[in-house]
Amino acid sequence: MASAPVLKKTNSISSESGGSESGSEEILSAMPSEDSIKQNESKDMRKTRSTILRSRSINGELFEYFGWVYHVGVNSIGQEFCHFRYLFIRGTYVEMYKRDPHEKPGTKPIRRGVIGPTLLVEEIGRRKVSHGDVYVLRFYNRLDQTKKGEIACATAADAQKWLEAFDHAKQQVEYEVTRGRSVRDRLSMEDEINLEGHRPRVRRYAHGLKRFVKIKGADQEHELLRRASSVRSDKLDAYFDAEGGDVVDVHEWKCVRTINGVRIFEDVANSKSGKGILVKAVGVIDASADTVFEVILSPDRLKRYEWDTLTGDLELVDSVNGHFDVVYGTFDRRYLTWRQSKRDFVFSRQWFRGQDGTYTILQFPAVHKKRPSRSGYKRTKINPSTWEISNLSASSSSNSARCLVTQTLEISSKGWLKWRNNHCPKFEKTVPYALLSQVAGVKEYIGANPTLKLEESTTSVHSKLRALSRSDSEFEDTDETDEFYDAIAASSSSDEDDSETDIEFDEEKKLQIESISLGSASLSAPRDSAAENNELDSNEPAMDLEPSQFRGSMRKSKDESDKNCWSSLDGSGFMIRGKTYLKDSTKVKGGEPLLRLIAVDWLKAEDPLSKVALHPKSLVQSDLGQKLPFVLVINLQLPARPNYSLVLYYAADRPVKEDSLLSKFADGTDMFRDSRFKLIPSIVEGYWMVKRAVGTKACLLGKAVSCKYLRQDNFLEIDVDIGSSSVARSVVGLVLGYVTSLVVDLAIVIEAKEEEELPEYVLGTVRLNRVSPDSAEQLDA
């Protein structure tokens, strides 16, 4: 598992891997010999290929990330491949090697390219590769999704480290562009090519893979999977917000028991409703969130026998995708119930990792055609439950990793109240009690197996911080670049084919490990005139923005009990970054939104709707809409049949002030917008499992899903393609199933990253009251 990042600094950058034209091979391309490349490529291509070695980052420093990954995919004849490769990110420049260039100086990369602003990286979950599971990252061009490719890591933690490394590289690109990089450079950065090309010499490759599998064997390959993805990074964890949610909690949790160091809570507010009781078990475990996640998700029977009294016998029935599966199990009736019949169960598991590193696992009772009712067994319905696993700061006495593990479930009040009030022993023989005991079981299991902690300390993300020196000047005058897609998706050459020497190298490789260690305040911050004066031109008269003047397909609510409508609200229910956030991570309650919500459209169409603001029926195209100083149009594209779009129209009553944060966001680059566009969700009313799935943490949408921006006239439209992420698509599917009973609050924030941008302000809010999908208005293209 990945440990805390390592930071190094050296005086110069080595150009051992090809500081000349001939060394600039395209990553993931099928590369002929170097001589043939020189003979056949055009002068323009040679010019492009010779300019991709340089990237200047903040304060004149160049960051590097490197480690072992798997390059996975499908070749031109439909056969899957999996190559063990060394990936190296230097600034915005990426190289892929067959060997560690640090161990063998002078080694040339087999793939090469740069990371551009249109690159999107998505973690698509677990996948079975030969004898082990890996976590796959997909790369694609947000402007052309046919350009794509995949790498894989041994653990979810390593996959996340690589995600952050690529994100850091994109931030360096953004820095260059915002600091005056030429327009020609900006345009050339959009020149991205396919990640998946034809792969010649497939027969040789397939033969090599066959030898690889035979030689390794299950045990040795499993060990390779363990140590394959070792990436070291710098202070990537610091990119995320402080611990805690970004929404004021509406639950009233009361501790009613402490068992084996695990606290048992009851939601007092929920119990007053007369429905089922919402309870949770909370424990601190001395291991990283990544380790605990792997333990909980693993179906290994022998390991589960050591901590799980209920779901120890698990069998994988179906793997829907990398974040969703269905399992079947049985349990021994003697341990959990007085009944004599044998018991079995089927439930689904859906999991995802938040941008703050928190894992969420949703478990639902399920039915599957592969596991019908079984003779001699009584099918038990496992209580719906959730796991939340979040890292904690290291204790002052130790630098070891710790995490907070919470398991929440809803149970019948009858047995619970007897146990809570009178300690009735019968409750301790029930399925809910066995579920609540799982946190204690995991805690004791990890505490009794120090090798688990050892594993997480032997895999990490490598990074170096290199100061730019005069020796790097040969790269400074480059004009054009090959995108990372040039590097990661093209066809393999003979250099890419695995051979017997590669196998021996893999077996003997010893990775060098270096690692070091890397609260919300309930203050109120109502919006004063300062934020408005900083963002909007106070010298201009304010325009009347009464919503009754504007028409949307969804009506404004009359009162709190109204259905299928929207309303505006202040930002006091959301926590945003305070003035001193960069020093102490303090968050404060939001104030009044800067922009006014004037209308909402609830639309449907056969194909996803985009550029809604240009539609003749759009509010923006009306006479009154064209007179507005500035309109922010948020188009949330919800994948379903048909496709839905929730379109929010926010207006400013004065022109946007030049050089303000809002102006930089409206008129900036897509990369800048992606790094700042933040959404904070909150399920105010609704099924508690949906609340857990959606969460309360702010999400940088541009990093989670594909966002496309349209800036024209007096408006900026943001088309948010939620279907571009498998995780987001699954969560939205769950939400749509309960949407008629949900009250949803959303807040939009431009993330502040510099001290002069603090404190943050709420850009806009909306409350959606029990929306009906059937009420969506059909919109013709």
pLDDT at 26 > cutoff 90: no
Q: How does DSSP assign 621-634, residue by residue? A: GSHHHHHSSEEEEE
Cα three-residue angle 300-440-454, rounded to 5 degrees: 60
Q: What is the mean pLDDT of residues 566-579?
A: 93
**Choice between 122 and 462, residue whose per-residue pLDDT is larger:** 122
CA-CA-CA-CA torsion sign (328, 331, 333, 336): negative
Q: How does DSSP assign 719-751, residue by residue? A: EEEGGGSHHHHHHHHHHHHHGGG-EEEEEEEE-
State the SS3 of 494-523.
CCCCCCHHHHHHHHHCCCCCCCCCCCEEEE
What pLDDT digit, counting tens, does each position of 113-142 carry?
878 777 778 888 888 877 678 899 988 777
Q: Which candidate, 404, 399, 407, 428, places its Cα nearest to that of 416?
A: 428
Structural domains of the chain sorted by starting position, each given as residue range(s) with its CATH number in brackets: 52-186 (2.30.29.30), 253-393+400-451 (3.30.530.20), 565-778 (no CATH)
Average pLDDT, the chain: 74
Q: What is the mean pLDDT of residues 317-337?
A: 81
CA-CA-CA-CA torsion sign (433, 438, 444, 449): positive
Segment of 146-155, 373-382, 452-461, 584-593 carrying the highest mean pLDDT: 584-593
Alpha-carbon gap, residue 68 to 231, rounded angstroms? 7
Alpha-carbon gap, residue 55 to 690, rounded angstroms? 43
β strands within 51-200, DSSP E:
61-74, 80-90, 93-97, 111-114, 119-129, 132-141, 144-153
Query: Contact at 8 Å (CB) between 252 and 268?
Result: yes
Q: What is the mean pLDDT of residues 487-503?
A: 41
Question: 150 Cβ partners below 8 Å, 6+ apart?
Answer: 71, 72, 73, 124, 136, 137, 138, 139
pLDDT of residue 636: 96
pLDDT of residue 21: 31
Alpha-carbon gap, residue 614 to 219, rounded angstroms? 59
**Which residue in the block uniquely carries the two structure tokens 């892929």?**
96
The DSSP element (H or E) to which 265 belongs, if any, is: strand 262-267
pLDDT of residue 173: 74
Alpha-carbon gap, residue 329 to 431, rounded angstroms? 13
**Which residue in the block uniquely carries the two structure tokens 């300062």?**
530
Alpha-carbon gap, residue 590 to 578, rounded angstroms? 9
Q: Tell me the residue type at 104.
A: K
Tell me 311's DSSP state: S
The answer to whether the peptide bond before residue 642 is cis (omega within 30 degrees of 0) is yes
Cα three-residue angle 454-459-465, rounded to 5 degrees: 130
What pLDDT digit, counting tens, does each position of 657-713 carry?
998 999 999 999 898 999 899 999 999 999 988 988 898 889 999 888 889 999 999
512-530: buried (b, 16+ CB within 10 Å) or exposed (e) per residue?
eeebeebebbeeebebeee
Q: Which candidate, 426, 361, 384, 146, places its Cα nearest to that of 276?
A: 384
Query: Contact at 8 Å (CB) between 380 and 431?
Result: yes
* Stated pTM of the model: 0.69
Within 13 Å, how many C-alpha atoms sit on residue 437's CB side?
16
CA-CA-CA-CA torsion sign (444, 446, 450, 453): negative
pLDDT band for position 356 (50/70/90)?
confident
What pLDDT digit, counting tens, does each position of 259-271 carry?
888 999 998 876 6
Three-state DSSP state, 472? helix
pLDDT at 214 > cutoff 50: no
β strands within 590-652, DSSP E:
596-605, 630-638, 643-652
What pLDDT digit, counting tens, does each position of 503-562 carry?
333 333 333 323 323 233 334 444 445 566 689 988 889 888 888 889 899 999 988 889
pLDDT of residue 396: 60
Other Cβ atoms closer than 10 A to 338: 8
Rama region for 201: left / alpha / beta (φ>0; ψ in -120 to 50; rest): left
pLDDT of residue 208: 39
Three-state DSSP state, 664? helix
Three-state DSSP state, 574? strand
What phi and psi values does residue 8 have, to the nearest 5 degrees?
-130, 160
